[in-house]
Amino acid sequence: MKKVWIALSLFLALSLALAGCGQQITAEEIVAKMQETVENTQDAHAIVSASVNAQGIELSARAEVWEQSPNRLRAQVLEASEPDLVGTLMVSDGQQGWLYEPNRNRVTVGPVEQIDTPLPQEMLTELQYVIQEMLDASDLELVGEEQVAGQQAYKLTLSPKEGAEQEFLPGNGTATLWVDKEQWIVLKATYEASNLGQGSMEVHSYEMNPGLADDLFTFEIPKGAEVVDVEAQQPTFLTLEEAKAWPAFQVLVPDYVPEGATLIQVFEVQDTIVLGYNHSADASFTIMQGPELIRQMPSGEAQDIDVRGQTATLISDEDLGFTFLNWVENEVTITIAGRIDLEEALQVAESMK
């Protein structure tokens, strides 16, 4: 997790304003305004919603967020499309992080940057990163004015700059920002990439410099809660030969992969072996083999198909080029998932040995 999350994304991006009557400000002016805002914002409180529909995953959540400079955070999920996410609480004192899942009565503890967070939060984290990176990688254009959350806002579009060294958004997409005309706060942001998906965030209420208490950024573990040390669950990177010699079960490796596909990493996490492949700027997939307990199904219409003589679960989105295949073979759960078309995923599966 990057140290800045939802609330700070509102306040670090205050500089997306316009200089004069409809004129676009320069990158240098934007950077200067952002730095000035950071220096003048000690803490913040907001209600924010986020949604994501990408790579077969569709989630939305509404959260209350408190942030204190330089990197303290408290965020609690108020509503979510996945009922198990409701009540989830993330707290950071700047170094230590706690992720409390009340439905499981489980607390994940460790360095804040190592704690996995619910997907809408990850999406917003990435969006904040994108907003900051857009200065070097995008063209900014004022396209009008609209009302958002009861406030008049400038509407700006951000698109990839021709010849930029880096992609502005995953999938080379386009973002739209709505900026409060008085407070210069990003009230709403969206992104869309035709071959990836779409996501959005929106501010429903906010307070700047309300004077937050320090104890908001500490967490007392509830009695009886399961405590998970995140540092003990970090992946162990392996060579392919080490994975093939894994003692718990026989690891299968495909003879066939899509043209240009490269095995870029092999690791073990929670008794699962993961093979990661990357074969283009917009396509990658993983093969996971291990206990069934850690499997999480993406959203989408599931169907049963035959794979290697086993009944497999298939979830596929042809428009996004996303495929999820999951089956059990010799008491080992095998999953092929990612941005790979169905026919190639089936060829990969049938070639595994």
CATH code of the domain in which 114 resides:
2.50.20.10
Q: Are 40 and 60 contained in the same domain?
A: yes
Q: Are 168 and 242 contained in the same domain?
A: no
Smallest CA-to-CA distance from 229 within 103, 87, 106 is with 106
- Model's pTM, two decimal places? 0.62
Q: Are 79 and 199 contained in the same domain?
A: yes
Last residue of a domain, one of 228, 252, 281: 228
Q: Are 281 and 243 contained in the same domain?
A: yes
Is 93 within a domain? yes
Is 43 within a domain? yes
- What single string gives the DSSP state of each residue in 69-94? TTTEEEEEEEEESSGGGTT-EEEESS
Is 340 within a domain? yes
Which domain does 52 fall in, by range? 6-228
Q: For the domain that residue 250 is a member of, what is the CATH number?
A: 3.30.200
Q: Are 30 and 177 contained in the same domain?
A: yes
Smallest CA-to-CA distance from 123 within 179, 173, 49 is with 49
CB 115 within 8 A of CB 97: yes
Q: Are 297 and 166 contained in the same domain?
A: no
Is 1 within a domain? no
CB 302 within 8 A of CB 314: yes
Long-range contacts formed by 251-254: CB under 8 A, 24+ apart: 251/289, 252/287, 252/289, 252/334, 252/352, 252/353, 253/352, 253/353, 254/287, 254/348, 254/349, 254/351, 254/352
Q: Are 171 and 251 contained in the same domain?
A: no
pLDDT digits (tens, 9 = 90+) for 237-286: 899 999 999 999 999 999 999 988 899 999 988 789 999 998 776 678 99
Q: Are 170 and 318 contained in the same domain?
A: no
pLDDT digits (tens, 9 = 90+) for 80-99: 988 888 999 989 898 899 99
Q: What whole-number distance in Å separates Cα of residue 54 and Cα of residue 42?
A: 34
pLDDT at 129: 47
Is 289 within a domain? yes
Last residue of a domain, one of 228, 246, 265: 228
The dihedral sign for the CA sequence 271, 272, 275, 276: negative
Q: Are 160 and 240 contained in the same domain?
A: no
Q: Are 157 and 241 contained in the same domain?
A: no
Q: What is the mean pLDDT of each run of 10 residues along the chain (353 residues)?
A: 34 31 45 61 88 76 89 90 89 90 90 69 47 59 83 79 57 75 79 74 88 94 89 81 93 93 89 87 84 60 90 83 90 92 93 95
Is 213 within a domain? yes
Is 341 within a domain? yes
Other CB atoms within 10 A of residue 125 CB: 20
Q: Are 153 and 258 contained in the same domain?
A: no
If one counts the domains in the chain, the total is 2
pLDDT at 14: 32
pLDDT at 13: 34
By three-state DSSP, how is residue 342 classified? helix
Q: What whole-number distance in Å separates Cα of residue 281 and Cα of residue 10?
A: 30
pLDDT at 118: 58
Is 182 within a domain? yes
Q: Are 187 and 261 contained in the same domain?
A: no
Last residue of a domain, one of 200, 228, 256: 228
